[in-house]
Structures are given as structure tokens and as C-alpha cells.
Structure 1
Amino acid sequence: MLFGLAALLCLVAYSTATILQNGQVRVTDYPDTKIELSEGSWMTYGANATEIHYIGRWDAKHVSHWSAPGIRFGFTGDDVAVTFGSYTQPGTLVGYRVSGMDWQFTNVTGGATHQFTNSRTPGINETYPFNPNVFEMRVSNWGYGIQLDKIHVSEGESIVKPDARPRTIEFIGDSLSAGMYNSYEALFGFAYGVGEGLGNTEYSITARPGICVTDQECFGNPRGHSRQWFYTTPGDWRSRELWGDKEHPWNFDAHPAADLVVINIGTNDANEANNVDSADYVTHYKRLIQGVHGKWPKAQVIIMKMWIGFFQSGNSYFQSHDLANEVYSVYEYFNSEEYLSAPVIYDGVTNETTTLGEPTEPFVHFFNTTGILQFNDIGPLWHPTDVGQIKMASHLIQYISTKFGWEMMATGPE
């Protein structure tokens, strides 16, 4: 009996210290990838090399901002290493992969060089279907960031500009889009799931926990999306540390226009702590979409019905949808004859609205999230579990595929 109890206790101890992911033990003590650059022979490229494709929003100092920013480039040879600048926050968790192989993770340090691939890295000696191999790295978080200093490959080898992807999605949102409290944070949110799940799709996630669409301070975010979406940084303490009071409008002309914009915003506007008037919420939501249409007139826009969580009523649970009527009224406004006959665009930098002379076709669509999530898909901190995020992404992928005829191009890579 004592032996059985001891064995049981051992099993309990093991289970509480182990995370299983798809039946396999998930690594949480990530490998130390730091190296001394002087110990090898390298071909080095600066952060401004044209072969490097930047994903998401990066500033002029090559510092990343918002959620899941990253880089991608092709390379020849076996070895890839990256030197991180001093503005890299200590211990920032990054995901990286070679071509279509699995994501791997490591914590990186400012002022250090980290080697990510060598001759023993799975996939490195293969030439099909990626030739040359492609290296991709993304920051897992939204508040932490990295500064890219240099890229290194084996001496005599080179980096190569990666092939452009045929379609682009921009996600605009808050903590729900940013994957807050999920296993790999932004790399496990529904926005990431949609971008990767569609396959062969460029996507960026301009999202941050606590932000409102209404232009006011919300949970430490000094401005709302109706203004801050037009800027490179979220205006947080990192932004001020880097640039002081100087702000940098995002150069939309220097980047490909989005084909599709997915917006899920309003959870923080609905929170009583921020004291947002519902009429102001609608006004600023309209401004954001008017701004999107002004910057990317050919983009289609999906606005999502928000989910706030579940409440008990009687002997069951029911889903909450704060500001549901307000969100739907925004959708109705952009599909009204009033707007379509004389469309209005907005500039969040100049704070000016302009009425266009030519009518526009409907471009705003409504995605009803009701019924996708169940009570147990919401974690104890009011955010979707990993499963909840996957369910939301799966339904949204089907909606996009059906609504716009987008082929699902995922062929195997995670």
C-alpha cells in the first residue's frame, strides 16, 4: 500500500511538472543559442540589407513593435546567426524555423549573437521544396521587442530575398488577437492561427493588450487604435525610451497594401474601468475603418463580433457580447447607401476626414462569433484557452475561404 502511494505521488509530481502538447512533452527550458562570433568564420549583413524581409512594424532603429513581429530571408549554407542590438529586452522569447520545419524557441539577449542553425538542424541539408532554405524568426510577445543588428551566414555563403507571398492580411486588435495568456502568446492567438492556417499568406498583427479603439488611455496604452494604428509604435514606455516624445507615422506607401483587414476591438472599451461612452466607441470604430479605407482602398475589412466570456444563468452558461449592437451598427453604417455613395476617409495623423467624390463598393463584412466558443474555451483570466484560439481561427479561416474565395494553401508547414 505504501509502495502504491509512493508511486502515485511520483506520478502526480511528474504530471504537474510536465506539459504535454499533442502527446509529446513540450520543452520550456529552451536551449541556450548564444555564441562567440569570433570563434567562427562568417559572412555578415547589416540590418538594412535588402534581402531581409521585415514582418510587422519595425522602426528606423530596427526595433520591433506590436505583436509577433519578425524577419524572413533565404540563405545558402548551413549556418545562420543573428546579432541583437542593445535595445533588445533581456530574455525575449523568439520562435524560429527553417523553411517548413517546426518552430523552435530560445531566449535572446541584447548585445549578443545567437546561432539558430547548423549542419545538424533538421531540414538544413534538404533542398525540396524550399531551395534555398528560408529562415524565419518572430517575437512571441507584444510588449517585449528585439533590435536587429546583423545577420551572419557561413563564410562564402549568402542571404537571399525570399519570394513574395500572394496575399496579405492585417489584424488589428487587443489582447485577444495578441494571444495573451496562451502557450506561446502571439504565436498561439487566433490571428496567428488564421495567417498560418491559410498558408502562403503574409500577415501582421497590430495588436496590444489593454488598448481601446477609442482614442484615450486604456490600461496603460496612452492612445487608442483610431489614432495609434497609423503609427509605427504603440506609444508605450519602450517607444518613449527609444524616441522620447517624437512619434513616427507608419509609412504605408513603403509596404504592400493589405488585401484583407480583420478587426476585433472593443473589449477594453467595454470595460467599466475605462469609462468609454458607447457613442464614442462607435465614432472611433468608424474612424479606424475610414482610415483603413483611406490607406488601402482595395482592402476588404472583416469586423468581428466580440466575445467577453460566459455567465451563469440558472443551470447553464450563456455567452456575453458587450457592445454587440454598437459593433453591428458600424457594419450597417459602412454598408448603407449614405456611406457608399459618398465614402469618407480619415487620417489619424492629421486628424482630418475627407469625403471622396466617387462612390465605393461594399467592403466591410461582419463575422458573427456567437456559438463558436463554449464556457470551457475561456480561461480563468477571461481570455481564450489554446483550444479556444484554435476554434476561433478555424471558423474564421472557413469564413474567409467561403466569403472571398481564398484557397487554403497550407501544404504541411506548421
Structure 2
Amino acid sequence: MLLEKLSYLLGLCALAAGTILQNGQVRTTNYPDTRIDISSYDFRTYDANATELSYKGRWDSKKVSWWSAPGLVFGFTGNTVAITFGELTTDTTLVGYRVGGMDWIFAGATHLLVTPSTPGINETYPINPLTFELRVTNWAYGVQIDKVHVAAGESLTRIPPYGRTVEFIGDSLSSGMYTSYEGLSSFAYGVGAGLGDTEYYVTAYPGICVSDQECWGNRRGQVHQWFYTSDTSGRAAEIWGDDPEPWDFQKQETTPGIVIINLGTNDNNAANNVSTETYVDAYKNLIRGVHGKYPKAQVIVMQLWMGFYQYGNTYQQNLGYEQELKDIVSYFNSDAYLSAPSIWDGTTNMTTVLDAPSEPFVHYFSTKGIMQHNDIGPLWHPTDVGAIKVASHLTQFIKLTFGWDLVATGSEIFHDTLYWNDQQNY
């Protein structure tokens, strides 16, 4: 069966020459061709549900990845790692992978990923155990983990999760739409990975509203879909139909200490016909849902940015629901709510009173002045530079507001952003 699945994948996902567009031009890439004939190797093989494997973000019971930048992390001995992907892997999916804190390597049709020549292997001063990390870059695509292999006589080890966790709930702005590596170029990923020693979940999908209605082809809004494992893609409909798996918060590896919400750009679009009252009610219910699942989490409400418009001989930032979002923050921090807090279960209009009152836990993050008009691409999404700006400011906001130290030690965060000029005379 393993050989059959491997052969299937070889024909399905031949993406060693994947394409990245840069301002409409094809960026030069040199992805390794990692496809192998498994019969030529002597492997020790682990099933996808092995306890040594840590799945990051949301993966369903079939071990299929969902939302933005979901990952797989494990420790290993030896100098060889291979992965067999299942038949539910999407054609042309691009994944990033690396050993330890080395730079990201990108490939599709991914099989033999780590060899003795992979950066981070056979180093003079190794950090043990060696860790392997894989992330799915494409928000609309996904992979299915079938088997993980190491060399015969070697083994996998489970890497304990970090003590801090942050979760993003959002739409295309959080999922990395139109940035170079999508999920691995988004501001949300930049915050989660940039904090260092922090788990991060990016529960975001383009076009989705917070309001529970159809928006740009998404049949449900985040006030409902956040409670489910899969996103609102056509891929989810093909695999799960009308009966998606609820997300099991009890089995989640870690509980977020901070939840960051950036929703409303799609609700604010007249094409989706969302009333202000509907938006506010849905946003409040989503926060009630977060508070119910993560009672100790701090919530950050991000001010929306809606691109820029020319104003005279300069530019101004478009805003949406500015006062409404500020009022939502005030509502949750008011004595009226704190004296009788309520939660939302994602499926009905009923709320349930919590057992005990909470302290103020909702915060407002202003995006004014972070980006300028040329940090937004032609299709109204941040460029790579714009995403980095937002990530940098939001990271500092988290540090100053919650005292979270920045403990990243130099591991690459954003790939293909190393530009310099060291020529004095030209």
C-alpha cells in the first residue's frame, strides 16, 4: 500500500519546479526534486498518528492540513528523513521545511527531505536532538501525512511544545494572500515565529467574513467556522461535505495565551451585503466563543486597514468599522460584561453564563501609520514588506502590553528577503 501511495504522489504532485510570481514576473527558484523510489532505501517507518509527531495548527483525523501555515514537528536521529504523503494531498502544494533553525527549503512532491547534505546536518557543533519542521505555505491547498521515515536503526522523538501560544483568527490578510510564500510570508506567521519559542496557529482563510453568511464563496463565517477543524474551501467540501469535523479544543496541544482577531474587510465590502449590526453581533459572539474556549486568553482586536486612497497630493488610509471595533473592546472590558460574562458555542444563538467574572481581557491594536500606500499591492493586500512591518509593530505591542520577551535567536523567519548592496563604487 505504501508503494501504491508513493507512486500516486509522484504522478500527482510533481512540483519540483514550482512557480512564484513577483510583480507579475516569474521569480527564479531552484526547488530540490525530492522524489524517490522508496524501494531503494532501508527505512524505519512511522505511521501518521505516531506519538512522536507534533501537528501544529489544525489537522483533521485523516491527518489532512487546514487553514494557513499548519505544520509538523519532530526530533530525529541520523541524517535522513522522508515523508510519504497520502492521496488527499492537493496537487501543486508547496511546503517549506528545515532542520533546526536553518533557512527554509521549499519543495512540492516532497519525499526525501533530509540527507547528509541538508543544512543543519553533520554540523561541527550540533544542537541535539535534531528537529525537523514542515509548514504548508498555501492557504487553499493541503497535504495529508501518510508515513514518516528515518534510516534503519534511527528513531523519531517528540519535541515538547513551547510554553507560549498565540492564535490568529482572520481572513486573507492574516493567511498571507498574495505574499510570496503565502502562509510563510504573512504578518501572522511573522508574529508567531518572530516571538521565538512560541507556538502559533493561523486560523484564517481568504474572503471569509466574521458574520455567518456567504462571503466571496465562503459559505460560513468565522463566528461559526472557527469551531471546526477545516476551513471553508472547496477542498473541505470535497473531503468533508456538509458534515465537517468539530475542532477538539480539549486535544489541542497548547492553549493560546493571546488570540489576535483581524476580521471585517469582507464584511465591510458592499458586495457581501452585511449590515453593521450583523457585523458587530457576530464579532462579539466570536470573542465570546474565544473566551469560552480559552478563558485565560487575552484578545487583541486589530484595527482594519482597507488600503489607501489618493487625497489631494498625498494618500490616506482607508478604515472600516473603526468606531464599532473600539466600542466592541469597551463592551467586553465594561463592568456590565465582566459582572456577567457569557460565551458562544458557535452553533446557536444561545449564550451561557460563565461561572466566575473575568478581568478585562480585550485590547485594541491600531494599524495607523504602520504601512504606507506602496506597502499595499494592486489587489489590496500587503506586500512582503508590508507584512513584515505589521508583524514588527504587532510583536512590539505584544511585548509592551503583555511582557512577552522576544527570544528568537536568529532562525530565519521570512524567506527570500535578504537584499543588500555592498559595492561602494558603481
Relative to the length of structure 1, the TM-score reads 0.91
- Paired position in structure 2 for 1:106: 107
Match of 2:64 in 1: 63
**Which residue of structure 2 aligns with residue 374 of structure 1?**
372
Map residues 301-316 of structure 1 onto 2, 5 A cutoff: 301-316=299-314
In 2: Cα distance, 1:181 partner to 1:29 partner? 20
Q: For the residues of structure 2 that align with 1:28 and 1:120, how far apart are their CA atoms?
A: 19
After superposition, the C-alpha distances for 1:379-403 in whole angstroms (9 at most, x for unaligned) are 1110011110000000000000010
How far the C-alpha of 1:350 sits from its partner, in A, is 4.7
Q: How many residues align?
A: 390
For the residues of structure 2 that align with 1:298 and 1:129, how far apart are their CA atoms? 38
Q: In 1, Cα distance between the equivalents of 2:200 and 2:244?
A: 24
Aligned amino acid, residue 32 of structure 2: P
Aligned equivalent of 2:14 = none
CA distance in 2 between partners of 1:292 and 1:203 (Å): 15
Q: Deviations over 1:147-194 (max 9, x none)?
A: 000000011000100132110011000000011100111100100100
Q: From 194, 197, 201, give the equivalent of 1:197.
A: 194
The corresponding residue for 2:5 is: none
1:271 aligns with 2:269: yes
Matching of residue 237 in structure 1 with residue 234 in structure 2: yes
2:169 to 153, 168, 172: 172
Match in the other structure for 1:38 = 39
Q: Give the alignment of 1:69-108 within 5 angstroms.
A: 69-108=70-109
AA aligned opposite 2:35: K
Work out whether residues 208 and 215 of structure 2, in 8 Å CA contact, stay in contact via their aligned partners in 1: yes
Deviation at residue 126 of structure 1 after TM alignment? 2.8
Residues in 1 aligned to 2:22 and 2:187: alpha-carbon distance in whole angstroms: 21
Give the corresponding residue for 1:224. 221
TM-aligned CA distance change 1:129 to 1:56, over 3 Å: same
Structure 2, unaligned runs of 5 or more: 1-19, 413-426
Q: Secondary structure at the match of 2:52?
A: coil
Task: Quickly say closer, same or farther: Cα 1:344–1:119, change in 2 above 3 A.
Answer: same
Q: Deviation per CA, 1:300-356: give whole Å up to 9, x if none.
A: 110100101111111110001111111111111111111111111110035531122
**After superposition, what is the alpha-carbon deviation per residue over 1:5-32, rounded to whole angstroms, capped at 9, x for unaligned?**
xxxxxxxxxxxx9979xxxx97524221
Deviation at 1:358, TM superposition (A): 2.1
Extract unaligned runs of 5+ from structure 1.
1-16
Q: Which residue is equivalent to 2:354?
A: 356
Distance 1:302 1:171 in 2: 9
| Conserved? CA contact 1:85–1:149, under 8 Å | yes
Counterpart-to-counterpart distance in 2, 1:336 and 1:221: 33
Aligned-partner SS, 1:359? coil
Give structure 1 regions of 4+ aligned residues with deviation exceeding 4 angstroms: 17-20
Q: 1:357 deviation in Å?
A: 4.3
SS at match of 1:81: strand
**CA–CA separation in structure 2 for the residues paired with 1:401 and 1:308:** 26
Question: Which stretch shifts more, 94-103 or 354-363?
Answer: 354-363
Q: Which amino acid aligns with 2:210?
A: V
Q: CA deviation at 1:242?
A: 1.2
- Percent sequence identity over aligned pairs: 60
Which letter maps to 1:382? W
CA distance in 2, matches of 1:400, 1:347: 27
> How far is 1:291 from its partner?
0.1
- Residue 138 of structure 1 corresponds to which residue in structure 2? 135
How far off its partner does 1:241 sit?
Answer: 1.4
- Alignment check: 8 A CA contact 1:249 1:349 kept: no
Name the counterpart of 2:205.
208
- How far apart, in 2, do the equivalents of 1:122 and 1:146 lie? 24
Higher strand share: 1
Q: 1:301 to 1:128 in 2, by over 3 A?
A: farther
Q: Name the CA distance, whole Å, in 2 between partners of 1:243 and 1:290.
A: 27
Cα separation, 2, equivalents of 1:203 and 1:79: 27
SS at match of 1:187: helix
SS at match of 1:302: strand
CA distance in 2, matches of 1:390, 1:128: 31
Identify if the C-alpha distance between structure 1 residues 27 and 317 changes in structure 2 by more than 3 Å, giving closer, same or farther: same
* Equivalent AA in structure 2 for residue 201 of structure 1: T
Q: What is the CA distance between 1:248 and its match in structure 2?
A: 1.3
Amino acid at match of 1:28: T
Q: Aligned with 1:191: secondary structure?
A: helix
Partner of 2:387: 389
Conserved? CA contact 2:72–2:133, under 8 Å: yes
Partner of 1:322: 320
1:49 is the counterpart of 2:46: no
Deviation (angstroms), 1:235: 3.5
Q: In structure 2, what is the equivalent of residue 289 of structure 1?
A: 287
Deviation at 1:127, TM superposition (A): 7.3
Residue in structure 2 matched with residue 13 of structure 1 by the alignment = none
Counterpart of 2:212 in structure 1: which amino acid? D
State how far apart, in whole Å, the 2-side matches of 1:263 and 1:19 are.
28
Structure 1 position 229, deviation (Å): 0.2
Paired residues of 2:205 and 2:232 also in contact (CA < 8 A)? no
Q: What does residue 112 of structure 2 align with?
A: 115
Cα deviation code 1:189-237 (max 9, x no counterpart): 1001001111110001000000000000101111000000000112332
1:337-348 equivalence runs, <5 A: 337-348=335-346
What SS does the corresponding residue of 2:133 show, helix, strand or coil?
Answer: strand
Query: What secondary structure is seen at the aligned counterpart in 1 of 2:32?
Result: coil
- CA offsets per residue over residues 79-111 of structure 1, 9 Å max, x none? 000000000011210000000100000012xxx
Q: Distance in 1 between matches of 2:259 and 2:125?
A: 33
* Residues in 1 aligned to 2:87 and 2:348: alpha-carbon distance in whole angstroms: 33
Q: 1:19 to 1:239 in 2, by over 3 A?
A: closer
Q: Give the TM-score normalised by structure 2.
A: 0.89
Q: What's the RMSD between the two structures over aligned residues?
A: 1.7
Whether the 8 Å CA contact 1:127–1:133 is kept in 2: the answer is no
Counterpart of 2:285 in 1: which secondary structure?
Answer: helix
